[in-house]
Amino acid sequence: MNAQQQVRQLLDFIDASPSPWHAVATMERQLIAAGFQRLLETDEWLLQAGGRYYIIRDDSSIIAFVAGTKALETQGFKIIGAHTDSPGLRIKPHALFKTGELLQVGVEVYGGPILATFTDRDLSFAGRVSYRVDANEVATELLHFEQTLLRLPNLAIHMNRTVNEDGLKLNKQTELPLLFSTQSKEQLPADIFTDLLQQKIKREAADILSWELNVYDTQKGVFWGEEQAFYADSQLDNLASCHAGLSALLTDAALNSGDTIVCAFFDHEEVGSESTKGADGSFLPDTLERIALAMQLNTENYKRALANSFMLSVDMAHAYQPNFPAAYETEHKVYVNKGPVIKLNANQRYSSESISAALFMRWCEKAEVPYQQYAHRTDIPCGSTIGPLTAAKLGIRSVDVGNAMWAMHSIRESAGVWDHHYMIKVMRCFFAE
Ligand code: ZN
């Protein structure tokens, strides 16, 4: 498959995944098609060497792995980690309210989005809804409104004369509620909202109990630029890395390498990772230990396996935007379409160190892929990733890498076609080495 086709698949994957719950469901479909079997955390695991498995925790974190045929204690786990969530707006429990003659949807800010980018976009929502089945049982379904339902119109420049000098600042409580309709019905706003949900999940309105709903942009992904070498879509941070990791896993070279290869994609990275299914939770340690036990390793050999393991923590990086040169460290500018970026930070905001960085460089050389090195400006606080958390919890050597992109945390982010291709190539080399 060429680079353009790989990114076409990525854009289709993102457009089918308007929330972290949908992203996991989309990946699950791909895994099932490739012969992966689901394991439940509540069941006993009986694994076969060479078998393909996956586990989902609470609908939005997923770990897929191939049980190796080679000795796990000496080969270790080869892990690619990324996150399924993206910053944005989430709908509040009492969603609809009346303002004058208008109905609005109340939203909470999830993580650190660039809020101004949510104005004047074609918004809708998607997520999961839980409902009563009978007196004892609750069930959950995914819901995805494909039509545009919501909007955050800008204030006209005639009422905001200095917007171009001062920038667009939005008060999170009063200026983010989204417009939904004019109030014409007799119904209470709460009933109008559950009626809307009911259209999609086909349950009695009275049985709908709770939900988690993500606001998303209905505009599809596009290619752009000379030779269409760039692409734009929402949620590139970090669904582009999930897609690259899964694409590398689902290659013959990786599947048949004989090693225990793992893709671990977590929710809640954008809000600190501290949850049952976040990277700072027990999901990955629990899973790796259970794989080792099911492969008949004792504790001593499980610890040996961890000591022989390696993790690529993959998250997007900040590409140089020439209109804002002062934002970048002059000697560490990284460019779109110039290869995967190795992220280094002396204060351990990234998990990379010189040995793990050198190993990654070696895989790049082997895969004939260029690479770049990034350091943040020393006088601006640096972001972090799941890398340091998982590395600290498990004692696994790890490197933080990712592709260069523009406008991280905008509702419309942008990156390079060649970089996605390069990343899949080097990941495949890491898995299949
Ligand atoms: Zn990220």
Give residue 218 CA to ligand 1 midpoint distance, Å.
21
Distance between Cα 30 and ligand 1 center (Å):
22
Which has more confidence, 134 or 317? 317
Distance, CA 385 to ligand 1 centroid (Å)? 7
Distance 332 CA to ligand 1 centre (A): 19
Instruction: Quote the ligand 1 centre to 228 CA distance (angstroms).
Output: 24
Residue 60 token pair: 């939005």
Rounded distance from Cα 317 to ligand 1 centre (Å) = 8
CA of 428 to the centre of ligand 1 (A): 21
How far apart are the CA of 415 and the centre of ligand 1, in A? 14
- Residues 204-257 pLDDT 10s: 889 999 999 999 999 999 999 999 999 999 999 999 999 999 999 999 999 999
* Ligand 1 centroid – CA 388 distance (Å): 13
CA of 146 to the centre of ligand 1 (A): 25
CA of 200 to the centre of ligand 1 (A): 30
Instruction: Determine the distance separating the centroid of ligand 1 and the alpha carbon of 34, expressed in angstroms.
Output: 27
Cα of 432 vs centre of ligand 1, distance in Å, is 25
Residue 207 CA neighbour count, 13 Å, CB half:
17
Q: Could you tell me the distance, in angstroms and rounded to a whole number, from the CA of residue 77 to the centre of ligand 1?
A: 23
The answer on pLDDT for 189 being more than 90 is no
Mean pLDDT of 406-419: 98
The pLDDT value given to residue 147? 95
Ligand 1 geometric centre to CA of 241 (Å): 9
Q: Is the confidence at residue 184, as pLDDT, over 80?
A: no
CA 60 to chain centre: 10
- Extract the tokens encoding 290: 């259970």
How many Å lie between the centroid of ligand 1 and the Cα of residue 410? 12
Amino acid (1-letter code) at residue 188: L
The 3 state secondary structure assigned to 385-422 is CCHHHHHHHHCCEEEEEECEEECCCCCCEEEEHHHHHH
CA of 294 to the centre of ligand 1 (A): 32
Task: Please check whether residue 313 is in contact with residue 385, taking contact to mean a CB–CB distance below 8 angstroms.
Answer: yes
For residues 133-140, average pLDDT? 92
Query: What confidence score (pLDDT) does residue 233 get?
Result: 98
| Burial 214-227, CB ≥16 within 10 A → b, else e | bbbbbbebeeeeee
What is the spatial distance between Cα 427 and Cα 82, in angstroms, rounded to a whole number?
A: 13
Q: Report the distance separating Cα 141 and Cα 403, nearest Å.
A: 33
- Measure 83 CA to ligand 1 centroid, in angstroms: 7
Q: Average pLDDT, whole number, for the chain?
A: 96
Of the listed ranges 34-43, 56-65, 93-102, 223-232, the one predicted with least confidence: 93-102
Average pLDDT over residues 170-175: 97
Among 303, 111, 125, 138, residue whose Cα is nearest residue 212: 125
pLDDT tens digits along 283-339: 999 999 999 999 999 999 999 999 999 999 999 999 999 999 999 999 999 999 999
Distance 356 CA to ligand 1 centre (A): 20
Q: Which of 205, 367, 183, 384 is nearest to 280 (CA)?
A: 384
Which pLDDT value is given to residue 186? 81
Binned at pLDDT 50, 70 and 90, residue 343 comes out as: very high
Q: Hey, what domains does the chain have and what are their CATH numbers?
A: 3-86+234-432 (3.40.630.10), 88-217 (2.30.250.10)
pLDDT at 382: 84
What is the CA(298)–ligand 1 centre distance, in A?
Answer: 35
| Mean pLDDT value of segment 3-26 | 98
* CB within 8 Å of 5: residues ≥ 6 apart: none
pLDDT of residue 187: 85
CA 192 from centroid of its chain's CA atoms: 32
Å from CA of 269 to ligand 1 middle = 7
CA distances from 205 to 104, 127, 130, 196, 268 (A): 20, 17, 11, 9, 29
CA of 316 to the centre of ligand 1 (A): 6
CA of 189 to the centre of ligand 1 (A): 35
Q: What is the pLDDT, as a whole number, of residue 133?
A: 93
- How many Å lie between the centroid of ligand 1 and the Cα of residue 270? 7
Mean pLDDT of 94-122: 96
Mean pLDDT of 387-411: 95
Q: How far is the CA of 167 from the centre of ligand 1 (A)?
A: 25
What distance in angstroms lies between residue 6's CA and the mean position of ligand 1's atoms? 20
Residue 183: the pLDDT is: 80
3-state secondary structure 320-372: CCCCCHHHCCHHHCCCCCCCCEEECCCCCCCCCCHHHHHHHHHHHHHHCCCCE
Question: How sure is the predictor about 29, in pLDDT bands with cuts at 50, 70 and 90?
Answer: very high
| Spacing, Cα 427 to ligand 1 middle (Å) | 18
Q: 235: CA distance to ligand 1 center in Å?
A: 9
